[in-house]
């Protein structure tokens, strides 16, 4: 098959390599490409010569930091292979790749065993109803106990995890267990593994169960339909053994991909929706090359030479150069100029992409991550069911080193955010800081390095300030007269006002109850402006004031000297005076926190939260030995939570935060904040 011919849907295989760092995913991808003839020499992670890890920072760190799409031909099949990062900080790239494939291949190191990242990716793939394949790599590792590891896999993920092949000759080769019915290997009799596979497969079809009971066995070639059904339903999770370093089992793995894994028409299609909110209706893609186009962007990359690249999975219809496509609910189509097939960093132009194919569309600014592409103008709002991305909770405040570079910084950051679904950039008015949020310290460290090395842009960084607020606890009243005379016309304005506390989260209300024209109507906006200035600046600790009602009920003016500036000052000073008499308190943000970690860390996690003024509301455990702790804690106590969690869980814990509400800080904390504000004002 040549790149000039669009592959038939029956010949396409789409899979992504997932799992922990150091499991050997990138080396395995090289071995697969080499054995399929897609490359002539296998690259090395250590030398920075692999097809997938082509980014300069990936070469420098010797870690995959983004997903990489590759392609190979084997056994008459067109194989799209996506290598993904194994570091938890870059899990967003891995999750995004799930939407482009039918099969999630979780790679487990025989030396390290089942690690948390493997557990998480197995769960994510199951939630998306993908076919799952477990690849045990590094079977030649010293001290590896492969039978024990297989037993651990079945105990952790279920008895449906059955080997398609087994190591033999001291892990220098593997023996097929699906097509081969007899023989021996390092694990024992091949017949036992073959029988377990066939019995698991036929269970999904009553007709095949009856045949198996009557005939005693069924030829593997006749099991294609029930095998694909078992994979779709998660009734079978095949296990394959390989050594990417020596090549043992790699050729057999390629055969498994070509002969047994589902093509796009046999997998579970993603959940497309048409419409908004509760009115959205399911939209099912048909693997029909002649139908309307339905595709989606699962990755965006900003290439300095080609521009924005959209990595697209086609689900329905055919895309060619010249095809006019709409983005979601957009009403203005764009024309596809170039269509590529990706091999790491290299682009190969292709004439078309049909159902099941993965292609790259270049130089289209309208493309964005998770965009749905279609060619039917009458469709309203086509989108995919949202992916369950972890929330970016680790923040750092950034500012350009040079004044006047703020806009350039935002332009660059927007490009980086477009490439990374778990990177967020926001301006926080309460603290007047620009905050970059990611999934961990390494995530943000790589961000800063990319700014320096790729975009030659330097920034200053500091820890984000906590967005405290101020409010009042009781009613109070105050008045202020602003009078200034310095020759000629002067300034005069007097404001009488009351303040009242509002419910938490109610915001701010301004009420004009002046009667008799003591403050003329044209000056009331100036009074409100002065009050709002004080709201923004804060009164007792320098933080914005919220949840307060201001009632202006009286005042005085002068026919000649009253001016807007006088009433701005009078309103501001009267409000500040009233605040000080109204039982002012400082409010702190309280976060909802959800921690996932091994059950053995339960005591340490709950104890740490309690010591940090947190409250645990509940815990849940799953069959994989993972515990989820739900609770609330002050945001100020969670600034270094990632490092504390790493220490408590040996790096196996993750957490998510969301703002819950504001509540008053303890008196000692308020005294400290007020004292700091006084020192700054002196």
102 and 145 assigned to the same domain? yes
Cα-based distances in Å from 378 to 317, 334, 382: 16, 16, 11
Residues 402 and 490 in one domain: no
Q: Compute the distance between CA of residue 610 and CA of residue 417 in angstroms, rounded to an integer.
A: 35
- Domain range enclosing 163: 9-197+235-259
For residue 267, what are the CA distances in angstroms to 15, 102, 195, 263, 285? 11, 5, 25, 7, 12
Shared domain for 134 and 14, answered yes or no, is yes
Residue 163: per-residue pLDDT: 97
In a domain, 16, yes or no: yes
Place of tokens 């893609």: 285
Residue 626 sits at the vertex; the CA angle it makes with 625 and 629, to the nearest 5 degrees, is 140
Structure tokens at 475: 């009613």
In a domain, 561, yes or no: yes
SS3 category, 667: helix
**Domain holding 654: CATH number?**
3.30.70.240
* 370 within 8 A of 384, measured Cβ to Cβ: yes
Same domain, residue pair 456 and 524: no
Measured CA to CA, the distance from residue 581 to residue 105 in angstroms comes to 65
pLDDT of residue 1: 39
Domain membership of residue 217 (yes or no) is no
- What is the arrangement of strands in the sheet containing 307-316, beginning at the earlier edge strand? 334-335, 324-327, 372-374, 294-303, 307-316, 358-362, 339-343, 346-349
Note whether 138 and 252 are same-domain residues: yes
Q: Are strands 459-462 and 339-343 parallel, antiparallel or unpaired?
A: unpaired
CB under 8 Å, gap of 24 or more: what pairs does 663-672 form? 663/504, 663/587, 663/588, 663/590, 664/585, 664/586, 664/587, 664/588, 665/468, 665/585, 665/586, 665/587, 665/588, 665/634, 666/613, 669/586, 669/588, 669/636, 670/541, 670/585, 670/586
CB 121 within 8 A of CB 25: no
Q: 113: which DSSP letter?
A: B
Within a domain: 392: no
Tokens 């557990």 belong to: 119
The rounded distance, in Å, linking the Cα atoms of 287 and 271 is 14
* Domain-terminating residue out of 583, 615, 630: 583
**What HEC string does 242-279 produce?**
CCCCCCCCHHHHHHHHHHCCCCCCCCCCCCEEECCHHH
Give, in degrees to the nearest 5, the angle at Cα 423 between 420 and 429. Answer: 145
Same domain, 150 and 297: no
- 276 and 178: one domain? no
Whether residue 498 lies inside any domain: the answer is yes
If asked whether residues 539 and 622 sit together in one domain, one would say: no
207 located within any domain: no
Do 21 and 87 meet the contact criterion of CB atoms below 8 Å apart? yes
String of DSSP letters for 562-585: B-HHHHHHHHHHHHHHHHHTS--E
Per the structure, the count of domains in the chain is 5
Q: What is the CATH number of the domain that holds 120?
A: 3.40.50.300
Residues 573 and 627 in one domain: no
Is residue 497 domain-shared with residue 416, that is, in the same domain? no
Kindly report the backbone phi and psi dihedral angles of residue 121, in degrees, each rounded to the nearest multiple of 5, phi listed first: -70, -35
Among the candidates 421, 439, 465, a domain finishes at 465
Calculated CA dihedral for residues 110, 112, 117, 118, nearest 10 degrees: 20
Q: Which of 583, 613, 628 is the last residue of a domain?
A: 583
Per-residue burial over 417-434, b if 16 or more Cβ lie within 10 Å, else e, is bbbbbbbbbeeeebbebb
CATH number of the domain at 278, please. Answer: 2.40.30.10
Q: How many CA atoms lie within 13 A of 263 on its CB side?
A: 18
Distance CA 356, CA 316 (A): 8
Cα distance between residue 563 and residue 488, in whole Å? 14
Alpha carbons 409 and 413: distance in angstroms, whole number: 6
CATH of the domain at 441: 3.30.70.870
Query: Both 295 and 373 in a single domain?
Result: yes
Q: Is residue 219 part of a domain?
A: no
On whether residue 111 sits in a domain, the answer given is yes
Residue 217: CA atoms inside 13 Å, Cβ hemisphere, count? Answer: 14
Smallest CA-to-CA distance from 308 within 384, 265, 371, 350 is with 371
Three-state secondary-structure class, residue 147: helix
Same domain, 167 and 25: yes
Compute the distance between CA of residue 671 and CA of residue 358 in angstroms, rounded to an integer: 60
Beta-strand relationship, 548-556 and 491-501: antiparallel
Q: Tell me the mean pLDDT per 10 residues along the chain, length 682.
A: 67 96 96 96 93 92 94 96 94 93 97 89 92 97 94 94 95 94 88 93 92 86 93 96 97 97 92 75 87 94 82 95 89 90 92 96 88 78 79 88 93 93 86 88 92 93 89 97 82 96 92 94 95 93 93 94 94 96 94 87 93 91 76 90 88 79 92 85 58
Write the CATH number for 569. Answer: 3.30.230.10
């Amino acid at each position: 098959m040549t790149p000039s011919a669009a592959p038939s849907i029956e010949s396409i295989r789409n899979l992504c390599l997932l799992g922990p760092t150091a499991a050997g995913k990138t080396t395995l991808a090289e071995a697969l490409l080499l054995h399929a003839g897609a490359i002539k020499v296998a690259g090395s992670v250590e030398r920075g010569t692999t097809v997938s890890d082509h980014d300069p920072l990936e070469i420098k760190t010797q870690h995959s930091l983004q997903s990489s799409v590759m392609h190979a031909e084997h056994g008459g099949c067109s194989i799209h292979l996506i290598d993904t990062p194994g570091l938890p900080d870059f899990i967003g790239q891995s999750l995004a790749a799930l939407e482009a494939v039918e099969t999630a291949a979780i790679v487990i190191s025989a030396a390290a065993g089942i690690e948390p990242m493997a557990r998480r990716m197995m769960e994510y793939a199951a939630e998306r109803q993908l076919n799952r394949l477990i690849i045990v790599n590094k079977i030649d590792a010293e001290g590896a106990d492969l039978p024990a590891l297989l037993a651990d896999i079945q105990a952790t993920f279920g008895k449906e995890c059955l080997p398609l092949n087994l190591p033999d000759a001291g892990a220098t080769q593997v023996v097929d267990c699906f097509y081969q019915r007899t023989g021996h290997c390092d694990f024992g009799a091949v017949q036992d593994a073959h029988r377990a596979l066939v019995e698991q497969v036929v269970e999904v079809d009553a007709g095949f169960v009856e045949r198996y009971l009557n005939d005693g066995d069924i030829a593997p070639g006749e099991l294609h339909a029930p095998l694909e059904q078992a994979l779709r339903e998660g009734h079978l999770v095949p296990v394959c053994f390989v050594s990417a370093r020596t090549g043992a089992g790699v050729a057999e793995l390629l055969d498994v991909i070509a002969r047994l894994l589902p093509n796009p028409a046999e997998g579970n299609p993603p959940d497309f929706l048409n419409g908004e909110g509760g009115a959205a209706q399911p939209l099912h893609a048909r693997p029909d090359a002649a139908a309307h186009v339905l595709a989606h962007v699962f990755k965006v990359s900003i290439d300095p030479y080609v521009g924005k690249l959209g990595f697209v999975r086609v689900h329905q219809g055919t895309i060619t150069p010249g095809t006019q496509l709409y983005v979601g609910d957009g009403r203005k189509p764009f024309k596809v100029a170039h269509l590529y097939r990706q091999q790491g960093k290299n682009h190969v132009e292709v004439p078309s992409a049909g159902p099941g194919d993965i292609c790259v569309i270049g130089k289209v600014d309208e493309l964005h991550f998770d965009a749905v592409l279609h060619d039917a103008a009458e469709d309203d709002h086509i989108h995919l069911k949202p992916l369950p991305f972890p929330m970016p909770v680790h923040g750092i405040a950034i500012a350009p080193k040079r004044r006047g570079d703020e806009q350039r910084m935002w332009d660059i950051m927007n490009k980086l955010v477009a490439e990374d679904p778990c990177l967020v950039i926001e301006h926080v008015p309460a603290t007047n800081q620009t905050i970059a949020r990611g999934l961990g310290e390494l995530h943000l460290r790589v961000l800063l390095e990319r700014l320096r090395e790729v975009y030659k842009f330097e920034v200053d960084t500091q820890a984000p300030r906590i967005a405290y607020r101020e409010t009042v606890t009781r009613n109070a009243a105050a008045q202020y007269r602003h009078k200034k005379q310095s020759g000629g016309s002067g300034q005069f304005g007097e404001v009488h006002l009351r303040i009242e506390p509002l419910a938490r989260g109610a915001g701010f209300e301004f009420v004009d109850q002046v009667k008799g024209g003591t403050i003329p109507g044209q000056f009331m906006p100036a009074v409100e402006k002065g009050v709002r200035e004080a709201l923004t600046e804060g009164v007792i600790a320098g933080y914005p004031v919220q949840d307060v009602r201001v009632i202006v009920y009286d005042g005085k003016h002068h026919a000649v000297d009253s001016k807007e500036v006088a009433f701005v000052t009078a309103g501001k000073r009267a409000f500040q005076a009233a605040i000080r008499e109204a039982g002012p308190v400082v409010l702190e943000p309280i976060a909802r926190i959800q921690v996932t970690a091994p059950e053995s860390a339960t005591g340490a996690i709950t104890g740490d939260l309690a010591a940090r003024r947190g409250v645990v509301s509940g815990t849940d455990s799953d069959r994989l030995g993972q515990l989820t702790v739900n609770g609330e804690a002050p945001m100020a106590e969670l600034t270094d939570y990632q490092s504390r969690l790493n220490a408590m869980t040996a790096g196996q814990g993750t957490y998510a935060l969301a703002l819950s509400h504001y509540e008053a800080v303890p008196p000692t904390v308020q005294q400290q904040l007020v004292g700091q504000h006084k020192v700054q004002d002196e």
